Amino acid sequence: MPKLMIDDKEVIVADGSTVLEAARQSGIHIPTLCYLENIQAIGACRVCLVEVEGAKTLVTSCTMPATENMKVFTRTKRVREARRMVVELLLSEHDGNCQTCDRNNDCELQALANELGIRDLPYEGARTKAGRDTSTPALIRDSGKCIKCRRCVTVCNQVQSVGALFPQFRGFKTEMAPAFGQNLANVACVQCGQCAAVCPVGAISENPQLDRVWAALDDPSKTVVVQTAPAVRAALGECFGMAPGTRVTGKMVAALRRLGFDAVFDTNFTADLTIIEEGAELLKRLTLAVKEKQPTALPQFTSCSPGWVKFVEHFYPEFIPNLSTCKSPQQMFGAVAKTYWAEKIGKKPEDVYVVSVMPCTAKKYEAQRPEMNASGVQDVDAVLTTRELGRLIREAGIDFASLPDETADRLLGFSSGAADIFANTGGVMEAALRTVYEIVTGRELPLENLHVGPIAGLDGIKETSVTLNGTEPDFAFLEGVTVKLAVASGLGNARTLLDRIKQGKASYHVVEIMTCPGGCIGGGGQPRFTTDEVRKQRIQAIYSEDEAKQVRKSHDNPKIKQIYGEYLKAPLGERSHHLLHTCYVAREKV
C-alpha cells in the first residue's frame, strides 16, 4: 500500500496502482485520451503526462506505477505546456471539421482542446489521409479523424476477440484498420460497434440512417411504425444530459409520437414472443435428447444478439446447429408488423415502413441480411442507434425533458417485465426460465422477485442450474433433471466459454450470449461513454422497469395470447416457422 504525494495531497493506494489511478482515487483530474479503465493503459497519447520528482523526463501517469514516497505534480508549467503541445500536435494531423462532425459536442479531443485552452494551432503540415470506409451497413470508419489511440484495436482484439482491426502500415501512414487497410465488409468483423463506442473522436461511428427515416416520415403513402429495444429506454436520457440509468420510457414514446410515427410499438412485445418460441424450441431439444435419446445439438444458444450470431458464423461454424433458430426480437417484430399487423389495418407489407431503435450497430447489419424478408419485402427498413434517436429528437426541435410520459400503442406495444430484462446480461435467460419453468412444473419460478441472482451482473461468465421437480405429466421425463445454464457477455468471454464446451471441460443445456459487455445496455449504439459504473446504472434501471410491470412473465402477456389465437396458432407452428425462425451460414474466419 504505497503512500505518495500528488500535488499537495497525500494518497494511499493499493499495490500495483498507477499514478493515474491514485490521482483519480483522490479526486485529482488528469486528462486522458487513449486510456480505457481496466482495459488499456499504454501511454500512447501522451496526454496524461505528469512530473515526478527525481525523474528526468515527464512520465505518462497511466503507465507509471505509484511507489512509496513518490512526489507527483500534475499541474506545473512544464506539465501544462507539454500536454498542450501534445494536443496541438494531435490537432495538426487531425483531419476533422468539428461543426459537421458526428461527434460535435460529444468529442473527447474537442473537449480536451477546450479544457487545455488551446486557441490557435501553431503547427502546420500534412494531415492524416482521409479515407472513409462505408462498406458495412453498421459502421463508418473515417481514418482522417483517427488519433491512433488504439482503443478500437484493444477492444476489438482483447475484449471482443474478433481482431478485425489492427494498426496497419507505419509511421505517419499508420491506420487502425482491417488487414492492409481493406474495407470492414471484406473481413471477419461482427459489426458490434464496440470500436465506435470507445472511439474518442469521429473516426468510427454508426452508419447513419436518419435521412431515410425522415424520408419515410415525410412520405404520406407510407405507414411508418417504430419499435424500440428494451435497452434504449435506460440510456436515451443520457443524450439529453440526464444521469445514466434514468428511465425515460414514457418520454421516449411521447417523442416518437411527436416525430410523426403512425404507430409507436415496442420490441419488448416480440421479446415476449421470442421467449415463447425459444422456450418451445428448448423443450423440443430437451425432449429429443432426454426422452427420445436422439442426437441433439445442446446447449441451445440464444440468437438475439446479431454480433454474436455473426461471431459463431465466422469463428465457430461447428456450433451453428446449437444456435436457436429464433430470429431476434427486432426481426420478429418486422415480420409480424408487415404481416399480422398490416393485415389488421388493411395494408400491404410494402406500404408499412418499419423503423427500429436499437442500442446496437450490428442490428443495422442484421436488418439487411438477405433472409430477413419473411413478409415478402425487407422486414425492417431502417435501424437507428440510441444515439441517432437522440439526434432525430433534437433535429425535430423537441424538448425531451419536458415531455409527458405516454404509453406505447397496444397491439405490438404491450409487454411483460420479462421482455424488459432482455437488455441486461442474463436477462434473456431469466425471462426464459420464468416461462419454461412454469410450463414444465406448473409452478412459478421459486426465486425472490423472479430474479435469477447468479446470472445477473457484470461478471463475464456466469453459471447456475435449476433442478426440475414436481413436473407436469407432459414433462415427466424431466423429473429430477438438473438443467445447467451459462451466461456470457462480451465476445472474448463467449470465446472462452465456447472453447471450454468444445474441449469438454464444461457442458450446459442453455447458454445465453450477448455480444457487448454487460449486454445490450452496453451496446455499440448507446450514448457514449459507457463505463462499468454506467452499465450498472442502466442494468438497475432495466430491473426497475421489469419490477414496475404488472405482467412479469412473457406467457402471461395477453397480446401474446392474442397473436397466437388470431394468427400464429402455436409456437414452432407453420406460420411461426416461416415468420419467426431463420437459418445461418458458415463464413470465413479470415
Partner 1 sequence: MPTRKCNGCDGKSDHGVLLRRLDKVLREYREKPGALIPVLQIAQGLFGYLPETVLKRISLALEKPYSEVAGVVGFYSFFSRMPRGQHVVRVCLGTACYVRGGKQVLDAIRKQLGIEVGETTADGNFSLEVARCFGACGLAPAIMVDNDTHQRVKAARVQDILSQYVKRVGKAKGRSKGGKR
- From 108, 281, 388, 512, active-site residue: 281
Peptide bond into 166 cis (omega under 30): no
> Rounded distance, CA 263 to CA 333, Å?
13
CB closer to partner 1 out of 56 and 170:
170
For the question of residue 465 being annotated catalytic, the response is no
Q: What angle do CA 260, 266, 270 make, to 5 degrees?
A: 140
Contact present, 165 and 231 (Cβ < 8 Å) = no
User: Under the criterion CB under 8 A, does residue 185 sit at the interface with partner 1?
Assistant: no
Give the nearest distance from C-beta 189 to partner 1 in angstroms. Answer: 9
User: Among 56, 170, 293, 505, which residue interacts with partner 1 (rule: CB under 8 A)?
Assistant: 170
User: Looking at 8-16, 168-176, 400-408, 475-483, which segment touches partner 1 (CB under 8 A)?
Assistant: 168-176
Contact present, 365 and 136 (Cβ < 8 Å) = yes
Give the binding-site size for partner 1 (rule: CB under 8 A). 18
For the question of residue 281 being annotated catalytic, the response is yes
For the question of residue 366 being annotated catalytic, the response is yes
User: Looking at 55-63, 174-182, 265-273, 428-436, which segment touches partner 1 (CB under 8 A)?
Assistant: 174-182
User: Among 42, 89, 101, 179, which residue interacts with partner 1 (rule: CB under 8 A)?
Assistant: 179
Give the nearest distance from C-beta 588 to partner 1 in angstroms. Answer: 9
- From 152, 206, 520, 559, active-site residue: 520
Scored b (16 or more CB within 10 A) or e, 296-328 reads bebbbbbbbbbbbbbbbbbbbeebbebbbbbbb
Give the nearest distance from C-beta 34 to partner 1 in angstroms. Answer: 17
- From 338, 363, 553, 559, active-site residue: 363
> Rounded distance, CA 499 to CA 503, Å?
6
Give the nearest distance from C-beta 188 to partner 1 in angstroms. Answer: 8
9-68 residues near partner 1, rule: CB under 8 A: none
Residue 86 host element (H or E)? helix 77-93
User: Under the criterion CB under 8 A, does residue 503 sit at the interface with partner 1?
Assistant: no
> Rounded distance, CA 463 to CA 476, Å?
25
> Rounded distance, CA 412 to CA 419, Å?
13
User: Under the criterion CB under 8 A, does residue 573 sit at the interface with partner 1?
Assistant: no
Give the nearest distance from C-beta 180 to partner 1 in angstroms. Answer: 5
> Rounded distance, CA 435 to CA 353, Å?
32
Cα–Cα distances (Å) from 30 to 40, 105, 404, in that order, read 16, 20, 40
User: Under the criterion CB under 8 A, does residue 317 sit at the interface with partner 1?
Assistant: no
DSSP code of residue 191: -
Cα–Cα distances (Å) from 198 to 257, 280, 500, 583, in that order, read 31, 38, 29, 32
CB closer to partner 1 out of 162 and 253:
162
For the question of residue 520 being annotated catalytic, the response is yes
Amino acid type, 534: V
For the question of residue 192 being annotated catalytic, the response is no
- From 152, 189, 304, 516, active-site residue: 304
User: Among 55, 121, 167, 561, which residue interacts with partner 1 (rule: CB under 8 A)?
Assistant: 167
User: Among 12, 29, 114, 180, which residue interacts with partner 1 (rule: CB under 8 A)?
Assistant: 180
> Rounded distance, CA 110 to CA 451, Å?
43
User: Under the criterion CB under 8 A, does residue 169 sit at the interface with partner 1?
Assistant: yes
For the question of residue 324 being annotated catalytic, the response is yes
For the question of residue 304 being annotated catalytic, the response is yes
Contact present, 317 and 304 (Cβ < 8 Å) = no
Give the nearest distance from C-beta 338 to partner 1 in angstroms. Answer: 38
Contact present, 339 and 379 (Cβ < 8 Å) = no
For the question of residue 239 being annotated catalytic, the response is no
End-to-end CA, the chain = 46
> Rounded distance, CA 389 to CA 333, Å?
19
User: Among 13, 72, 165, 337, which residue interacts with partner 1 (rule: CB under 8 A)?
Assistant: 165
CB closer to partner 1 out of 173 and 410:
173
User: Looking at 173-181, 346-354, 521-529, 565-573, which segment touches partner 1 (CB under 8 A)?
Assistant: 173-181
The dihedrals phi and psi of 18, each to the nearest 5 degrees, come to: -95, 170
User: Among 73, 166, 214, 567, which residue interacts with partner 1 (rule: CB under 8 A)?
Assistant: 166
Site string for partner 1, 142-161 (x = CB under 8 A): ---------------x----
The catalytic site residues sit at: 278, 281, 304, 324, 363, 366, 371, 520
The residues of the shown chain that bind partner 1, judged by CB under 8 A, are 157, 162-170, 177-180, 187-188, 589-590
